[in-house]
Chains A and B, each alone.
Chain A
Amino acid sequence: MNPRALFAAGLMLLLPMKGSGQDGVDHSKHSAHQMTVDPAGVVMNQNHDTLPRDCTEISRDYEFTIHAGRKYAADFPGMIYGMSQHEVRVQPCSRITITFVNEDSVRHQWMVHGLPKYLYPAGMFHIEASGGHSKTGTFIVPGDDRSYLVHCDMAQHMEKGMRGQLVVGNGSGDLWGVAGVSDDFYRYSYLPWHTSLLAALVLVFAFLATLWLAKKW
């Protein structure tokens, strides 16, 4: 299987199924995004009042304060970075204000993928806080039940713990690998190699024991 196809299959584990990746827009060009850069960080594609097409009004206002940093991974063995809350549950068509508090001395991000691209360039809403800073941003979710990937897109931060989900309504099933919510898709065995010898021993014992029993009966 070619690596691209494999990767595309992998994306299915990360992104909500419908409507994702249909146009493959390259969003390295910042011009498409609405954002400003200041020493405290960045908020990208903020949306206070434009309703998604399938909403008639804002159903509810939410405010969440989410802390990020190494200490929030302390309860998860094998993770380095974490968030105070890896899952956010909201009603469809609600307006969400996230205050992202970075307690480390390096950058962290709270980034949502898979939002409608007609409203959010590249389908993303993004808060980035510099080390020791906090940033606040607001966006409005569409009306269907879906689970959206939330992560920090610093290299390896998602892999090492900063992966979460935004569940709108009843969601569309948990995403893989959300700390405290769902298991890793590729999970190591955490057994030493010589466990296979023990397994072989048990196999031989079972074989002989069955022969012996079969003879007795």
Chain B
Amino acid sequence: MSRRWLFVLALLIALLSCPPQWYPMPIRLKLTEWFGAAGFRGLPPSVEAMATEPEVFCPPDPEGWRDRQLIEDVDIAASAPCVADNPYTVATFVRGSNNVSQATLLKSGLAADAVEKGRDLDGDGDPDEIHIRLEVAELNGGSAVVPGPVTRYEIAPGIRPGLWVFAPKFVGMAVENFESNRARRSLRLPSPAIRIEQGDTVRITLENTHYMPHTLHLHGADHGFVDVSGEGNDGVPITSEMPVMPGDSRSYELSPRHAGTMFYHCHVQPHVHVMMGLQGLFIVEENRPDNWLQTMNIGAGLVRVPSRSLRESFDREYDLHYLDLDKELSERIQLHNDPRLITRSMHRDYDITDSAPDYFTLNGRSFPYTFRESLLVGEDDERIRLRVVNGGAKGIALHTHGHKFTATHRDGVALPEDTLAPQDVIWLATSQRVDLALELKNDGLHSYGPGIWPFHDHQYNGITSDGIGPGGNISAIVYAQYMDEAGWPQTRGVSFDRYFTEAFYRKEIPVWESYAPGLFSDTGHDLLMLLRVLGLALAGGIMAALGVGALIRRSRGRKLNHNQGQS
């Protein structure tokens, strides 16, 4: 008898608990007909946004690396954005690590044989024998002793995907500080842009400091299939030579007859290795007298010592390296430490045919860090050369606000004069290069006048970081009068506080919180609804128990009857 009452009680609880918005529609309509609408109950209040401590937008430059300066007789142009390359490293790349003073070499951080420059073979006043050394470094890798990624490198606040890069040969630690474990400033994404002169005798030695086999493939640059000694020289394991094993080195040779913007990358399991970051711009400059080139441009961006040929028709030159990253790939080096497990995970378990990119970088960073170092800063009426590569897996629809640029070269080859036309979106296929002429000429076509004009991928995933915008490869063309002393653009829109907060890219902060506090905040909870749901659960539990009990009793009863029937 008490079981029946319990059932009735549970039914009552269920009926009372059931939220009116869950009643079947005919019942709701009938109730409305009888009683009208239910009384007003305010929606839950907005949750107050968490207090955030944004990072410093514009790190200080105590040693004056941004300034124009003369080092080793090399005139190094000023770099307007907050973060600039070490000018001593730049000067050493221009003169050669074998030709600078010990003091400059120490300040450059480079090894004595990082970039060796030899004889002037054609007698035109610049060295033509160039020996470049490249190492392979892992950023944000795993460890069996320390938690979290090691040799840390952030592409944006709190975003640390595992990366592999080709790196110039430095001396000393990979980190700038053992306690913080951050990668030293010059050890970064993207792999450096390399510049050589047409006709130079170039040797590039790959010193494989990584724990996996790699090679160097000179994509689009004139090089022999074999070198002088008959060894394979194309960097392709399936056709030209064995890969370079960990701890080993190998030299590649070229003396390119054709100038243009080319590309270099590893060719071992390229669908994985190239997409981990083993790729860089490879630029062959036209031969000119007394043409001392900045052999490497760390992190791409502004070329602080542009070539003679560039200076003939442009005021500045920027290298722009676009790369997208798939976090399902890049995280694999963080999940294991044993290279056998990593190799299996990356090259067999990972399936690129099921992949989609999550992070979109320009010169190794995503917004807002792009605003620290990848702004295109220029003055009125300047002509700016952009060398652009799309190293990512997806195409890029590169778009400029306030300007139309002209593509003059594609894949290192000049386009016919009569086909050149200004445009504001250009499509770059994977691994494609274009040379763009950007004119800050306020004529209503090439430029609409001074300002802070964004430029970005117009494919919408490219302007996010794992789906959070603004992120991705957004940067801006900034006229010098819009830059402040420290190198930050004087934007007049929303505050950047949220964007310089890790939690924003962890998807924990409402997107408009900074200028509409409370209006579009996260919502609080509905406690009455919680009570109703718990009531329903209680009633459901009671009824289920009663039901199961009844079933058991029935089957026992049957068994009993059966047994009685036998005896």
Contact = CB atoms under 8 A, between A and B. Distances in A.
B148 interface: yes
Interface in A1-57: 3, 6-7, 9-11, 13-14, 21, 24-28, 30-31, 35-39, 41-42, 44
Interface size class of A (residues with CB under 8 A): 35 or more
Contacts, number: 160
B246 interface: yes
5 contacts: A81-B247, A156-B137, A159-B142, A186-B143, A188-B337
Contacts of A37: 102, 105-106, 111-112, 171
B339 interface: yes
Interface string A50-81: 00000000000000000001100000011011
Contacts of B174: 153-155
Contact of A113 (B135, B142, B178, B208): B178
B553 interface: no
Nearest to A22: B179
Contacts of B247: 69-70, 80-81, 104-106
Q: Which of B169, B177, B178 lies at the interface centre, i.e. has the most chain A CB atoms within 10 A of its CB? A: B178
Interface stretch (A88-96, A125-133, A140-148, A197-205): A125-133
B210 A28 contact: no
B106 A159 contact: no
Contacts of B215: none
B336 interface: yes
B552 interface: no
Contact of A155 (B139, B144, B245, B248): B139
Nearest to A186: B144
Contact of B148 (A7, A24, A42, A155): A7
A185 B337 CA distance: 11
B273 to A, nearest CB: 15
Interface stretch (B180-188, B217-225, B324-332, B428-436): B180-188
Contacts of A31: 106-107
A176 interface: yes
B145 A176 contact: yes
Contact of B106 (A30, A128, A158, A177): A30
B145 A13 contact: yes
A26 B176 contact: yes
B177 A26 contact: yes
A105 B171 CA distance: 15
B246 A153 contact: no
Given A30-B109, A69-B247, A78-B341, 18 more contacts: A11-B179, A21-B179, A26-B176, A27-B177, A35-B106, A37-B105, A37-B112, A38-B112, A104-B247, A106-B208, A106-B248, A107-B207, A122-B178, A131-B249, A153-B178, A155-B139, A156-B141, A177-B144
B51 interface: no
A55 B249 CA distance: 45
Interface of A (DSSP majority class): loop
Contacts of A157: 209
Contact of B339 (A3, A80, A131): A80
The residue in A41, A70, A106 that gathers the most chain B C-beta atoms within 10 A of its C-beta is: A106
Contact of B150 (A36, A42, A159): A159
A187 interface: yes
B350 interface: no
Contacts of A186: 143-145, 147, 337
Interface in B199-253: 207-211, 245-249
A159 B209 CA distance: 13
B339 A78 contact: yes
B143 A159 contact: yes
A127 B135 CA distance: 19
A160 B107 CA distance: 29
Contacts of A185: 144-145
A184 B144 contact: yes
Contacts of B150: 156, 159
Contacts of B105: 37
B127 to A, nearest CB: 18
Contacts of A80: 211, 246-247, 339
A150 interface: no
A155 B187 contact: yes
B140 to A, nearest CB: 10
A111 interface: yes
Return the 5 tightest CB-CB contacts between A and B, nearest first: A104-B247, A10-B146, A184-B144, A28-B176, A105-B249
Nearest to B208: A106
Contacts of B144: 159, 177, 184-187
A159 B337 contact: yes
A188 B341 CA distance: 10
A9 B141 CA distance: 18
A114 B115 CA distance: 33
Contact of B337 (A13, A105, A155, A184): A184
B351 interface: no
A3 B139 CA distance: 16
B401 to A, nearest CB: 36
Nearest to B246: A80
Contacts of B102: 36-37
B112 A160 contact: no
A130 B113 contact: yes
Nearest to B116: A39
Among B111, B141, B145, the one with the most A-chain Cβ atoms within 10 Å of its Cβ is B145
Interface string B331-352: 0000011111100000000000
B145 A177 contact: yes
Contact of B172 (A11, A128, A188): A128
Contacts of B246: 70, 80-81
A38 B135 CA distance: 18
Interface string A104-124: 111101010100000000101
A102 to B, nearest CB: 9
A7 B145 CA distance: 10
Interface in B103-122: 105-107, 109, 111-113
B363 interface: no
A105 B513 CA distance: 54
A130 B146 contact: no
A45 B185 CA distance: 22
B138 interface: yes
B211 A156 contact: yes
B173 interface: yes
Contacts of B183: 155
Interface in A158-192: 158-160, 163, 176-177, 184-188
Nearest to A124: B178
A13 B135 contact: no
Given A39-B113, A78-B339, A156-B138, A128 B146 contact: no
